[in-house]
C-alpha cells in the first residue's frame, strides 16, 4: 500500500466514521424545548462538532491501523476475495 492509498483509505474511513458519530447522542431542538426560528424541529440543539471531530479522528485512526495492518501483512489478499474465479465466472490464470 502506497502513501497516497493510505491517505485515501484514512479519508474514506474518517468520513464514514463521522457520519456514524453525527447520529450518536443527538438531542433535537424539539426534545430540548428550544427551537430556533427557521429551523426544523429535528435539527440538533447542539451538535458538539469539535468533540465529534476529535473522537472521529481517534476512532478512524484505530480502524485505519487495523485495516492497514491487514493489507500490509497480506492477511487478506485479492485472491481471497475474488468471487468471480471462486464461483467459476472468470479465468483462473495468473494476472
pLDDT the model gives residue 91: 63
pLDDT tens-place values along the chain, 95 residues long: 889 999 999 999 999 999 999 888 888 877 778 877 887 777 788 778 899 999 999 999 999 999 999 989 988 887 777 777 777 776 655 55
**How far, in Å, are 15, 46, 54, 78 from residue 74 at the CA level?**
25, 43, 30, 9
**How far, in Å, are 15, 55, 92 from residue 43 at the CA level?**
20, 21, 53
Residues 6+ apart with CB under 8 A from 72: 1
pLDDT the model gives residue 64: 96
Outline where the chain has alpha helix (H): 3-21, 29-32, 49-72, 83-86
pLDDT the model gives residue 92: 56
pLDDT the model gives residue 67: 94
Q: Where are the domains of the chain?
A: 3-86
Amino acid at each position: 500500500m502506497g502513501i497516497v492509498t493510505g491517505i485515501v483509505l484514512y479519508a474514506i474511513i474518517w468520513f464514514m466514521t463521522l457520519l456514524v458519530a453525527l447520529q450518536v447522542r443527538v438531542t433535537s431542538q424539539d426534545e430540548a424545548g428550544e427551537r430556533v426560528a427557521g429551523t426544523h424541529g429535528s435539527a440538533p440543539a447542539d451538535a458538539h462538532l469539535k468533540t465529534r471531530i476529535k473522537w472521529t479522528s481517534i476512532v478512524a485512526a484505530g480502524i485505519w491501523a487495523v485495516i492497514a495492518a491487514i493489507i500490509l501483512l497480506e492477511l487478506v489478499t485479492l485472491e481471497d476475495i475474488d468471487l468471480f474465479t471462486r464461483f467459476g465466472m472468470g479465468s483462473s490464470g495468473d494476472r
